[in-house]
Amino acid sequence: VKDDVPYLRKDQILINFYLSFSTTHDFLFGAIAELIDNSRDAGATRLDIFTVDNNKLPGGFMLCFLDDGCGMAHKEATDLIYFGRSSKRTSTSRMIGRYGNGLKSMGGFRRRKESHGATGSPETMTSVLFSQTFCETEGIDEMIVPITSWSKSTRKPVISDLEKFTVQMSIIFKYSPFNSETELLQQFDAIYGRSGTFIIIYNVKLTLSGEPELDIRTDHADIMITGLLDNLPERWSLRAYTTILYFEPHMRIFIQAEKVETKRLPYCFYRPRMYPYIMSSFKGIARKEIKKAEVDMKMAEQAVEEAKCRLKHLEESLLHEVNELALQDALENAKRMREKLEEKQRELRRPKKLYLIFGINIENRSQEGMFIYNNSRLIRMYEKVGPHLKQGSQMSGGTVGMVDVPLETMEPTHNKQAFVNVKEYNHLLTSMRHHLIQYWKDIGISQKGVTSFWNEFGYISDKWLDKPSDAIQYKRRRAEEIPVVAQCDVCLKWRVLSSSTDIKNGYQHGIWTCAKIPGPLENKCNRPEHLPSIPLGTLNRLSLSLNDKEKVLIDSIQRHQRKLENLQFQVEYVP
């Protein structure tokens, strides 16, 4: 096959880069989440994640992702293999992926050596194969990605080069689980809408003991990380992780054919309260955008000068009129670039307002911490701040905080497991610490008595990690304080359910529609969505501790000292 490589289109990145790129996914579910992001960005309303047994493959199964999103035509799939080519790379986009890497990196080789994507648009069906084994076996340094397409109506190949098509198919048959064109085309039959994508990951990564990294045997309705069990199921259960993956979940997710009960996190806690927060110091992305706009404006101004020069030298030429039009276009473009730069500069001066939301986790008080989202996508979870860091302290115990940071304010790392600007992120956590302390004061649990508060909700044991009692009176008491919201499987809107109904069925709604609501106000899909309002709180800056004030003062003094040193340095070297 190596001799046939010139027939194939190469990715622009060496295979060694993919291997190093994949190691950035320390959190296994963070890698899987990139594929889920792809489906969400593609406008999918449903995503099925499931496994198919295949004892011929390492690990004994294939991991599958099937959605009903917009899919891709042949050109879009071809563009995908070029690292960084993405039509969605804008700071104002509500899409989660920005770089077009999701299918290739997707934790990429973090979980496996190979993946096959079958993606269908309304007119075509396109097959994309990523195979590390193929490249290693054939001794190829570049990443070769066979891409083949068929007409959806005739199921005939869409080809311009028969020899290239034949080579690509031979690679697919040799390095994928499919042995014939008929078997390969059957994968497209799994796509249940007019369009969609079906990704199959195989040759999954194994642990040192020879077991797959993903455990699909312990719980047949879940996919878990092998050997990792602790008090935070979101770290080892894909079902638990996907319930909180998005701040505003819309796409339905099914794991092993069972629906994931996704959560609207702000409505899952006791006495939630939201605090307005002005992010005046978060300017990293804005400054990057300004630098780019400055470069664009300079290039536009250079284009104007070049157009003027051509017009002057070709004044008597027949091309004079053409050059006049070219100059006019260049002037208009330069004006647009200047206006764009000015808008970016205004944006830099404009403070960003968002909301920090806090609540008490009365369902499991040991699960506490901060949840940081970006563009509705979870980046960090259970981050400990302030009183949470003091072992044995009951102050703010059981409190959960959350914030959805706009993409234009803070940029996540490419693997979406951290933020690029660590200083800005730490500043956000510091602010959340101040607001956490304020929230704890506002709800008045300390005045009431922390122990009696938890006893009221069924926490009888003195051990903090013990879960609350399942006695009906305690379950009812907890249900009285937390609104239960469910998502309609038809219109995807969220509705408030009665707590008494949910006590009986354990909060599991399964396939559920608006028609099941007994009242007439929201029992139809055309009714608007109404969710409970969350009270506003205010940070009392006078309540900051003396240590906090001292830190602020020291930081201010140090900043002024640095400014003074810089001025003195400039004076010494004045000619």
SS in 3 state form for 336-382?
Answer: HHHHHHHHHHHHHHCCEEEEEEEEECCCCCCCCEEEEEECCEEEEEE
Lowest mean pLDDT among 128-142, 177-191, 198-212, 343-357: 343-357
Q: What percent of the chain is modeled with pLDDT above 70? A: 78
Output the pLDDT for position 551: 55
Neighbour count for residue 22 (Cβ, 10 Å): 21
Strand, helix or coil for residue 100: coil
Residue 573 CB contacts under 8 Å (≥ 6 apart), including other chains: none
Q: What percent of the chain is modeled with pLDDT above 90? A: 47
**Which conformational region is residue 141 in: left (phi greater than 0), alpha (psi within -120 to 50 degrees), or beta?**
alpha
What six digits make up the tokens of 453? 């508060």
Domain ranges of the chain: 2-257, 264-276+353-544, 284-349, 545-572
Check if the beta carbon of residue 416 is closer than 8 Å to that of residue 106. no
Q: What average pLDDT does range 402-430 have in this prediction?
A: 89
Q: Residue 519 pLDDT > 90, yes or no?
A: no
Fold classified for 2-257: Heat Shock Protein 90 (3.30.565)
What six digits make up the tokens of 469? 């009692």
Output the pLDDT for position 575: 45
- d(CA 62, CA 69) in angstroms, rounded, equals 21
Output the pLDDT for position 105: 46
Q: Which residue has the higher pLDDT, 96 or 251?
A: 251
Q: Residue 489 pLDDT > 90, yes or no?
A: yes
